[in-house]
Amino acid sequence: MGRWLTVALAWVVAILGGFFAVAGGVLASLGGSPYYLVAGVAMVASGALLGRGHPAGRWLYVAVWVGTLLWALWEVGLDGLQLIPRLVAPTVLLALVLLTGWRRGPRARSRAVPAVAAGVAALAGLGLMLGHQDVAAQGATPGSAPHAAAAPPGAADAEWRDYGGTPAGRRYSALADITPQNVGQLQLAWTQRTGDLPMPAEATEHKREYHSESTPIHIGDTLYTCTPHSFVQAIDATTGKTKWSWHEAARIAGNNYLVCRGVTYFEAPAGTPCPRRILAPTFDARLVALDSDTGRPCPSFGQGGAIDLRANMGVSKPSDQIGTTPPVVVNGRLIIGERITDNVNRDIPSGVVRAYDPVSGAPVWAWDVGRSPDAIPPLPAGHVYTRGTPNVWGAITADPDNGLVYLGTGNASPDYWIGYRRPFDDRFGSAIVALEAQTGKLRWVRQLVHRDMWDMDLPIGPSLFDYRAPNGQVIPALIQTTKMGQVFFLNRLTGAPIAAITEREVRTDGATPGVRVSPTQPFSTGMPSFTPPAPTEVATWGATPIDQLFCRIDIRRAQGTGIYQPMGLRPIIGHPAFDGVTDWGGAAVDPVRGVMTVNTMEMPFKLWLMRRDDPRAAKLMKQKQGGENAMQAQLQTQYNTPYVAVVKAWVGIFGAP
């Protein structure tokens, strides 16, 4: 290596060493690993010697690398993924440093051969270590795994008539054409273009969230689906040809959340006009009924084919109230909840769940927890359902035989500062609620998070099936997945646990003054858990030692890490966080083999509260008012409370989680 390249490399080594010495000193002062401080000081010395052409500079860096290797193996063993940020960059730098000993001429080369050989050996050894990585499942399946008493009625039906396959929300098909043996041979049959594309503000400026999340239903030879801008479409299941498409100019202005997850099919009694209907939510808070054959609105339903869900909801902005998830029709009732905006304001529309006559669209009952635990008759014009109550934004599941519907509830707004929660908010937030479909009367409620201050609401209703216990008893059961990664297994008629639930003590200190924190939380100890372990300094990752070091400092500065750390003025590293381990997709339950399949995600977030008069809060508020969405501005405004919340994905300086 030439002299100037050697000097340049010496500067790189010294500068990196200086960074590690300073940042490593911060980490060590917080009680973290002293490795970065020691390695940084040694690298500064190595860089200085290399710059002077002294061979000791090379061997000092070799010593740093050997120490790094031993430290890495001590911390994480042969975990290849964890060794990447600890060893890859230092090993590349080692190879470059050793090349500074390579000189022209046979004698110079012979002296450099051992050093270069050492570098090659280091790279080869690193490759072997990174290639050795065992992957083990977390948790274990209990010896008495849930299984069905028998195949459910209609299990072999080729149609997919409901959002979750059936009203029970199992997301299971008994069709056997696709098998583990032939799934790899599947080929594209057709592609359908909806014609619904992001508008400029959605595609470039990111002022709105545009999500394509629909699960089509399958009736006869037709698929029915919806799009983010509330297009409702019928598609030939064999050819992919669009049979019809319905879309009306809707109130887009000010609506920053655009998503539709599906539609519902309903057959009205014989002789009814528009007997076969597609019921679809819209992002401007309507529920439309369309003729499934033509796509035209059913004029006898509601007002001209639609129900205005803003009725009796009081003053709201377009984005405060959005239909994202299809209703459920069971026992002569059309039952629907809505997405009510989170964390913008304490004064928001009600989380009321309403039932309508699916033929006429006339309102039948309203479950407004601020007025009664049981449903009440629809309010007359001019009256408003209780503002800011827990909403039901995920899919509702139903048990037609027992006349029950199951709601997964959210929280009263805001999610992150809970000082103004009311008794009924506390009782019904983040809970499974069973209501009688005909009347809306409360059958039972089981809360899965107490005093939720982390946005751990239930994003979907449970999956229902019949369970044969080891003693032969058949129990009507449900399985509920959660954002926390806990899986709850209950008797669906009573809410009683089938698998054990244990109230465990959790941390209570660190919240803002005057906020009551629940001293315990329910853990489903009788079922496997998908809850990830709390992040630790050793477990942090990164693309390089640099961003890993920043993550280590974050961990040490945090008030707490993991699940159920109280929200306060110091950051916590929430893992899991509001995106959950399992979100609105829920689980797929095979009721024949007793197998549940769950799609999981692990994305930690850094969260904390700031007083509204904090200058930093004012800066973030200005960014948000300038048009940036919540993810960009990282701010939850929580108007009409003393605090704003900062919620940001916990990633390194290079963007890696």
Give tens-digit pLDDT for 575-615. Answer: 999 988 999 999 999 988 889 999 999 899 999 999 999 98
Does residue 33 surpass a pLDDT of 70? Answer: yes
- Partners of 442 in beta bridges: 435
Cβ atoms of 434 and 427 within 8 Å: the answer is no
Assess whether the previous peptide bond of 576 is cis (omega < 30° from 0): yes
Q: Which domains does the chain have, with CATH numbers?
A: 3-131 (no CATH), 194-532+576-603 (2.140.10.10), 533-575+604-657 (no CATH)
Does residue 286 surpass a pLDDT of 70? Answer: yes
Does residue 201 surpass a pLDDT of 80? Answer: no
The helix/strand/coil state of 51 is helix
Tell me, yes or no, if the pTM score tops 0.85: yes
Does residue 144 surpass a pLDDT of 70? Answer: no
Q: What is the mean pLDDT of residues 146-166?
A: 68
As a whole number of angstroms, the distance between CA 29 and CA 553 comes to 10
As a whole number of angstroms, the distance between CA 383 and CA 318 comes to 20
pLDDT at residue 137, rounded to an integer:
40
Does residue 96 surpass a pLDDT of 50? Answer: yes
Does residue 126 surpass a pLDDT of 80? Answer: no
Q: What is the mean pLDDT of residues 384-401?
A: 97
Q: What is the mean pLDDT of residues 309-325?
A: 91
As a whole number of angstroms, the distance between CA 404 and CA 408 comes to 13
Residue 501 in tokens: 């639930």
The helix/strand/coil state of 615 is helix
126 membership: H or E segment, kind and range: helix 106-131
Residues ≥6 apart with Cβ < 8 Å to 2:
none
As a whole number of angstroms, the distance between CA 450 and CA 640 comes to 23
**Distance of CA 251 to CAs 325, 391, 558, 628, Å?**
18, 22, 42, 20
Question: What's the pLDDT tens digit per position in 492-519?
Answer: 999 999 999 999 999 999 999 999 999 9
Residues ≥6 apart with Cβ < 8 Å to 352:
313, 366, 367, 368, 385, 386, 389
- Identify the burial level of 579 via C-beta atoms within 10 angstroms of its C-beta, where 0-12 means exposed, 13-18 middle and 19 or more buried: middle
Cβ atoms of 130 and 80 within 8 Å: the answer is yes
Chain CA centroid to CA 181, Å: 32
**Distance of CA 645 to CAs 374, 381, 569, 620, Å?**
33, 36, 9, 10
pLDDT at residue 290, rounded to an integer:
98
- Packing angle, helices 35-51 and 56-76, rounded to 10: 160
Catalytic sites, residue numbers: 455
> Amino acid identity, residue 217?
I
pLDDT at residue 258, rounded to an integer:
86
Q: Quickly count: other Cβ atoms within 10 Å of residue 178's Cβ.
A: 11
45-60 burial, b if ≥16 CB within 10 A, otherwise e? bbbbbbbeeeeebbbb
Residues in the chain, overall count: 657
Which residue is associated with the tokens 């990174």? 130
Q: What is the mean pLDDT of residues 235-260?
A: 85
Which H, E and C letters describe 55-114, residue by residue? CHHHHHHHHHHHHHHHHHHHHHCCCHHHHHHHHHHHHHHHHHHHHCCCCCCHHHHHHHHH
Question: What's the pLDDT tens digit per position in 418-465?
Answer: 999 999 999 999 999 999 999 999 999 999 999 999 999 999 999 999
573 membership: H or E segment, kind and range: strand 572-574
pLDDT at residue 266, rounded to an integer:
98
